[in-house]
Structure 1
Amino acid sequence: MPELPLPRSNRGIAVVSLFVSLVALGLKYAAFAVSGSVALHADAIETIINVVAAAGGLWALSVAERPADHNHTYGHYKAEYLSAVAEGTLVVITAFVIGREALEGWFAPHPALVPWNGLLLNAAATCVNLAWGLVMLRAGQARHSPALIAGGQHVLSDVWTGVALVAGVALIPFIGWPRLDAVLAGLVAINVLRVGWEVMRDSIAGLMDEAPDTETLDEIRQIIVANGVGAIQAHDIRTRIVGAMTFLEFHLVVPGAMSVNAAHDICDRIEHALRAHMGSTLVHIHVEPENFVKRDGSALNIPSSGCHAAPSTTVAEK
């Protein structure tokens, strides 16, 4: 898939996402209107939440991009997590609404469903969502944006739902079992519930300042070791990722006779390397003399010649 030019700001991407959601909603409601399919109606209902979520994501990203102020000295990045939690909640509610539609369709199946025009419209909406969902997910991962990642995951879940519906509803006239329409709607509800739970779980983890994954932590350790030549040890490393911003703090042990300027140069070197690798990063380093060396195995020892391999010691996280 070719790379599409994207707005520079996450807020710009959210504006496009809202427009795409409205286009998909129009196509899916048209699909339901011409077919009368309960399953396609359930898919259209789910797309309403896409529109609401896109509007919420636009608000959250607008807030998250505001600079730090006297009331929010660490910035407004967590607004993205609030949006993602709200989106997850809406998705879960939608799952129950769709489930009700499925039950009604089961007890009162449509007697004469002719779905072809509706399926074509739904397939068109699915293609639109596939293209945009991939763009959102890639942009969110590249920019470390929870709101964009959650939005992309939500849109892509809608894609797989759409594929299943197109295939399933197309079978109804051939197998002559109208209740398959309600079964498909029920499967849509289960899938939507799953996505809602995943979005909420990841967002709550961010709000609770959960530590990054092991791979990210290992990369941080390697950078400190490779760029901390002249220091003795780093310990009490703590990090959290809030939206596009990484917060990192640790204690750096240096020789007691080292000058302030030399210690400051080491700190600068580490900070620049971390920012070059991780993007926006707020680093706080507490410099200590050598009598503060920890010997309990929880610290990160820095070889005098530097090292680019992953250190064998562990790091105390929180």
Structure 2
Amino acid sequence: MKQRLIIFSFVLSLLIMAAKFYAYYLSGSTAILTDALESIINVVAAAFAYYSVYLASLPRDLNHPYGHGKIEFFASGLEGVLILLAAAYIFLHATQHLFATPTLERLDLGMYISLGSAFLNGLMGFYLVRLGKMTHSPALVADGKHLTLDAYNGLLIVFALGLTFFTKWIWVDAVASIVFALLMCWQGIRLVRESVAALMDETNPAVFNKVIDWITQHQKPTWIDLHNLRIQQYGGDLHIDCHLTLPRYWDLGRVHDEIDDFEVTMGKVLPTEIEIFVHVDPCLDACCSHCEITDCPIRAHQFSNKIEWTAKNMAMNQKHFNEIKLV
């Protein structure tokens, strides 16, 4: 599904790019050239996004035990770099024409083409971002955001061309290009920053909090403690590590069954492939104060109060106790 969608995005970007360069050929507008150059990035980005999604879909192997999903983060970062390079060229080209008086023709045709491409790019970008967030695909999200940015650019171009057409203010054409170049810089820097953060396994707060909410909603009394929770993203897939404290008087068979049940529960937190590694800790006497097992045969002292599991204490590599100092 994702690969077919990106192929469609690639073909659409090719057609739109050809139409924009044709409009530039007829009009000589710097703003339309800006739009056309930005479309080249759409084509290149869609091609690399297709390759990255294909590579991410390959199964794990001995050389890639966590899969190939991180290539999607690289694709997202590459798209950000391409946007920055295009923005730099557009800015230089526009500033050179800021005080010039080029001959502009057929601006009405340029407006029609820019408006049509803005509509198509906006529709495609919205769908790609939506599907990318649903499937946790950074490549789809990046490609969708880029198309959405291109749609905004198209609207800006239409406004600039309309203003130039009716007022004959030639400088508006160059100013519109400069404004959009600045917008492209912001988008490019944002994509590169997000890509680098993901490649360095920076915690995604939205995903982390969603996992914590899911755990607390399905928490069982036998899950005495959960800590050292770590979540890594490999493209659309997740890898989750945690330490789970269970009653120390349980036999190995019951511990195994409980871990299986925990993994099944955790595997439903998001509609994507999730790999879960659980390290089991035996309970300590100090756990009794917040342990909710009512028929515990080895309870050392009475239940005091339940400790709320939060993003802070679940990420720490230490058990939770009612005392101020954690052990």
Could you say whether these structures have the same fold, taking a TM-score greater than 0.5 normalized by the shorter chain as the test? yes
CA separation of 1:63 and 1:210: change in aligned 2, threshold 3 A: same
CA separation of 1:151 and 1:259: change in aligned 2, threshold 3 A: same
Q: 1:251 aligns with which of 214, 220, 243?
A: 243
Q: Cα distance, 1:75 vs. partner?
A: 0.4
CA separation of 1:61 and 1:317: change in aligned 2, threshold 3 A: farther
Q: Is the Cα contact below 8 Å between 2:227 and 2:316 reproduced in 1? A: no
Question: Does 1:199 find its partner at 2:191?
Answer: yes
Match of 2:325 in 1: none
For 2:168 and 2:49, locate their aligned partners in 1 and report how far apart those are by CA, in whole Å: 42
Match of 2:160 in 1: 168
Indicate the larger mover: 260-269 or 162-171: 260-269
After the TM superposition, which residues 55-70 of structure 1 pair with which residues of structure 2 at under 5 Å, given as runs?
A: 55-70=47-62
Q: Cα distance, 1:39 vs. partner?
A: 0.5
Q: Cα distance, 1:110 vs. partner?
A: 1.7
Q: Is the Cα contact below 8 Å between 2:111 and 2:158 reproduced in 1? A: yes
Match of 2:211 in 1: 220
Letter in 2 for 1:164: L
Q: Is the Cα contact below 8 Å between 2:118 and 2:151 reproduced in 1? A: yes
Indicate the larger mover: 155-164 or 237-246: 237-246
Question: Does 1:81 find its partner at 2:73?
Answer: yes
Q: Cα distance, 1:177 vs. partner?
A: 1.5
Secondary structure of 2:128's counterpart equals helix
CA separation of 1:98 and 1:281: change in aligned 2, threshold 3 A: same
Match of 1:316 in 2: 315
Match of 2:269 in 1: 277
For 1:206 and 1:79, locate their aligned partners in 2 and report how far apart those are by CA, in whole Å: 11
Secondary structure of 1:106's counterpart equals coil
Secondary structure of 2:69's counterpart equals coil
Match of 1:155 in 2: 147
Q: Cα distance, 1:264 vs. partner?
A: 1.8
For 1:65 and 1:267, locate their aligned partners in 2 and report how far apart those are by CA, in whole Å: 28
CA separation of 1:277 and 1:310: change in aligned 2, threshold 3 A: farther
CA separation of 1:20 and 1:284: change in aligned 2, threshold 3 A: same
Secondary structure of 1:40's counterpart equals helix
TM-score (norm 1): 0.88
For 1:119 and 1:82, locate their aligned partners in 2 and report how far apart those are by CA, in whole Å: 35
Q: Is the Cα contact below 8 Å between 1:38 and 1:181 reproduced in 2? A: yes
Q: Is the Cα contact below 8 Å between 1:235 and 1:294 reproduced in 2? A: no
Question: Does 1:291 find its partner at 2:284?
Answer: yes
The Cα offsets for residues 10-61 of structure 1, whole Å up to 9 and x where unpaired, read as 2222211111111211221122122211100111011101111111111111
Q: Structure 1: which 5+ residue stretches go unaligned?
A: 1-6, 296-300
Q: Structure 2: which 5+ residue stretches go unaligned?
A: 295-306, 318-327
CA separation of 1:217 and 1:172: change in aligned 2, threshold 3 A: same
Q: Cα distance, 1:222 vs. partner?
A: 3.6
The Cα offsets for residues 189-227 of structure 1, whole Å up to 9 and x where unpaired, read as 1111111111111111110101121x4333322433424
Secondary structure of 1:192's counterpart equals helix
Q: Is the Cα contact below 8 Å between 2:28 and 2:103 reproduced in 1? A: no
Q: 1:122 aligns with which of 114, 128, 134?
A: 114
For 2:21 and 2:280, locate their aligned partners in 1 and report how far apart those are by CA, in whole Å: 62
Q: Is the Cα contact below 8 Å between 1:35 and 1:118 reproduced in 2? A: yes
TM-score (norm 2): 0.86
The Cα offsets for residues 79-128 of structure 1, whole Å up to 9 and x where unpaired, read as 11111111111110000111122022213232444400111112111111
CA separation of 1:52 and 1:285: change in aligned 2, threshold 3 A: same
Secondary structure of 1:276's counterpart equals coil
C-alpha RMSD over aligned residues:
2.2
Letter in 1 for 2:254: A
Q: Is the Cα contact below 8 Å between 2:137 and 2:236 reproduced in 1? A: yes
Higher CA-based Rg: 2
Indicate the larger mover: 154-163 or 256-265: 256-265
The Cα offsets for residues 224-269 of structure 1, whole Å up to 9 and x where unpaired, read as 3424431311111111222111111111111111122222222222
Indicate the larger mover: 26-35 or 197-206: 26-35
